[in-house]
Structure 1
Amino acid sequence: MSLPATAASPTATGIAARDIETVLHPTTHLADHRRNGPFVVARAEGTRVWDEQGREYIEGLAGLWCTALGYGVEELAEVAAEQMRDLSYTHLFAGKSHEPAVALAEKLREMAPIPYAKTFFGVSGSDANETQIKLAWYYNNALGRTEKKKIISRRRAYHGSTLGAGSLTGLPTFHKSFDLPLPGILHVTCPHHYREAEPGETEDEFAERLARELDDLIRAEGPETVAAFIAEPVLGAGGVVVPPRGYYERIQAVLDEHEVALIDDEVICGFGRLGTRFGAEAVGMKPATVSLAKALSSAYLPISAVLAPDSMVDVLVEAGERWGVFGHGYTYAGHPVCAAVALRALELMEERDVYGNAARVGNYFQERLARFDDHRLVGETRGMGMIGACELVADKASRAAFAPERGVGAHMERRCLEHGVILRALGDTVAFCPPLVVTESDVDEILERFGRALDDTLAWIEAGGGAS
């Protein structure tokens, strides 16, 4: 059904008007979108993006935390075209297989932060974490631990938006009006010292308190009912939260005591984002299973993966003797074109020393980002490697946040676009996640444009902007 003429943005033309008429957008304020229309991307190359008017922007968010190699890598286009000609599609159901999926699984086993990993393929980070839930349930059923099904996540975590993965997510937007979270999904405190610490509490004391909180919850629920704890090495969409030093070691000790598995959600942090191949290596996690997506193919095609150790898969195989078919999977799981492109993307990251660049330029980026700590609007800058955030506050001394209805973060994001840099506001926190191929010069440009937008936003606030 067409919209009434008064419903769409009165200034929208071309692609924008067509978009308003036909597209229902994910994770978007739909009323604002109908009023204002979309930001239309026309083309991209390297670390640059152009809109439909031909205006150039520097990419500061790697698309959606995912374009590690930057845009327009010709070799990946050629791999996709060649694979489409040779074998455009087959599947992995009922024991079928093909070379690209096997070769990618071999590469992931070689790289994995867990020993002897087998790969279960999917198409998105959400479905990877949905698979994690089902694997945990199936595995414990196979072992006769039929009550060991609860999964603990963290407030402000992001693990996807499907029913199960959306329940693991700890952000209200993904729960309210969707009747989530599902029963059996629990949440503990976000490990953000700046926002969650008690007055005078050191980072070490904070980490110890959060470990006690987890231990208390597992004991209260009954260890025999808790299957897993899921964590991003560094929280992404929840505001780029870097847990305090020693946090994961304390968490791991609690999990080990109660035989609770650690699920490592590497969808954002995997493949160099924290300056190491996997985020687990950077923060000291020792996962049982791993979720991958995004930079797995540098976002050139949709693909995800769950890595599980042989010891776990052996239990599933033995259960098959009793239960028959393992009834879980996706039509496009291990799609040959996606797998071929992902494998070549991982090879290019090694050949071009992308991990090394991420570590070197990541250090430079963190040092330059921290210079904004003295800005009147900034409560905290934070990050690790090539991911960072700048949290805007109404008062630095008290750390008081702006009233949400003022829309300070949204205004800041618009000002960033006006200054030619693509960043993302997560509430009033501005997130940075540039392609891993950026140079120090690119970092300077991103932060210089961000700084101008920050000054503009301060002037807007001082003039009463957003106040009712």
Structure 2
Amino acid sequence: QKKYVISRRNGYHGSTIAGATLGGMGYMHEQMPSKVEHIVHIDQPYFFGEAQAGETPEAFGLARAQQLEAKILELGAENVAAFIGEPFQGAGGVIFPPSTYWPEIQRICRKYDILLVADEVIGGFGRIGEWFAHQHFGFEPDLITMAKGLTSGYVPMGAVGIHERVARPIIDNGEFNHGLTYSGHPVAAAVAVANLKLLRDEGIVARVKTDTGPYFQALMRETFARHPIVGEVHGAGLVASLQLARDPGKRERFANGGDVGTICRDFCFNGNLIMRATGDRMLLSPPLVISRQEIDELVSKAKQAVDATAQQLGLS
């Protein structure tokens, strides 16, 4: 009976029919010939772009989380299987929710006996200084999807982590009739084990948490604190985003934000820096082994590109 899965607008969970339906990317939905049934969406916790004037981040985070409860009650709790979300939105713009968001999401899921699924494909394995991003935000999911950092991209591999409270009923009640041709492939598994040992034994995740991550975040905020076209800097560990804005103080975005992001991205490329443009948000995700000296160079190049963008727009 529990058939519905609730996701979020502007979330990203892959590009297959099921994954893209689960995600909330409108441009992907427009190109799909069909969608998977029983997947519904609520609004994302994007404070800069969607909060009301005078609304605090804390109040906004609670309000967006409480949309989940409203949707559950609309559908009937007996019909809802799960809620899925990225701890921080990756492809959607490296959007970090207010601190009130995830604790309230977890409370609601527990209240209505709904599985809480964390998509850790981007956030997992040290990206923000913890082994998993949900640890940074202080919640405990029932299931975790993971890939990317599991093997550091050297070979393809994805996995799902299942909490004991979910796995035990499956184990006790017989077979789980599901599998893939390359499930548990020994080459991928060997690479994953070797990769995880390196991340642990060489202190790479620990260094992101205590050294390079805080250094990168502090330098980004210091560099762009009063920039004429930067509305906010989001991030933790070694991932960050810059919100481009016409009037940062009023949270006024550019009407043609995607074009402005493309301008900035092109200036980055011309300066030998890869900084992704997602609409009017610029994204940085350097290697976990980056040094402080390399961070200095990266942030300097990012500032040069944003400065050039502001100058071209006549807002410098």
Shorter-normalised TM-score: what interval? Answer: over 0.9
Q: Is the 8 A contact 1:166 1:180 kept in 2?
A: no
TM-score w.r.t. the length of structure 2 is: 0.94
Q: Does 1:435 align with 2:309?
A: no
Deviation at 1:319, TM superposition (A): 4.8
Letter aligned with residue 436 of structure 1: L
Q: Does 1:292 align with 2:142?
A: no
Counterpart of 1:308 in structure 2 is 162
Q: CA RMSD in A?
A: 1.8
Q: Is the 8 A contact 1:232 1:264 kept in 2?
A: yes
Q: Is the 8 A contact 1:168 1:181 kept in 2?
A: no
Q: Report the secondary structure of 1:187's partner residue.
A: strand
Question: Sequence identity of aligned pairs in percent?
Answer: 37
For residues 348 and 258 of structure 1, what CA distance do their matches in structure 2 show? 40
Q: Does 1:328 align with 2:182?
A: no
Deviation at 1:418, TM superposition (A): 0.9
Counterpart of 1:452 in structure 2 is 304
TM-score w.r.t. the length of structure 1 is: 0.64
Deviation at 1:460, TM superposition (A): 2.0
Distance verdict in 2 for CA 1:220–1:296, change over 3 Å: same
Q: Is the 8 A contact 2:258 2:278 kept in 1?
A: no
Distance verdict in 2 for CA 1:391–1:180, change over 3 Å: farther
Deviation at 1:180, TM superposition (A): 5.5
Counting matched residue pairs gives 313
**Selected match of 2:244 from 374, 387, 392:** 392
For residues 309 and 395 of structure 1, what CA distance do their matches in structure 2 show? 45
Gaps of 5+ in 1: 1-146, 464-468
Q: Is the 8 A contact 1:233 1:285 kept in 2?
A: no
Q: Report the secondary structure of 2:266's partner residue.
A: helix
Distance verdict in 2 for CA 1:280–1:405, change over 3 Å: closer
Correspondence 1:242-253 to 2 at 5 A: 242-253=96-107
Counterpart of 1:337 in structure 2 is 187
Q: Report the secondary structure of 2:313's partner residue.
A: helix
Deviation at 1:226, TM superposition (A): 0.5
Gaps of 5+ in 2: none
Deviation at 1:355, TM superposition (A): 0.9
Deviation readout 1:384-408 (Å, 9 max, x if unpaired): 1111100112232433322348611
**Selected match of 1:230 from 84, 87, 93:** 84
Deviation at 1:183, TM superposition (A): 2.5
For residues 352 and 387 of structure 1, what CA distance do their matches in structure 2 show? 20
**Selected match of 1:221 from 75, 88, 100:** 75
For residues 138 and 212 of structure 2, what CA distance do their matches in structure 1 show? 22
Deviation at 1:309, TM superposition (A): 3.0
Which protein shows a greater Rg? 1
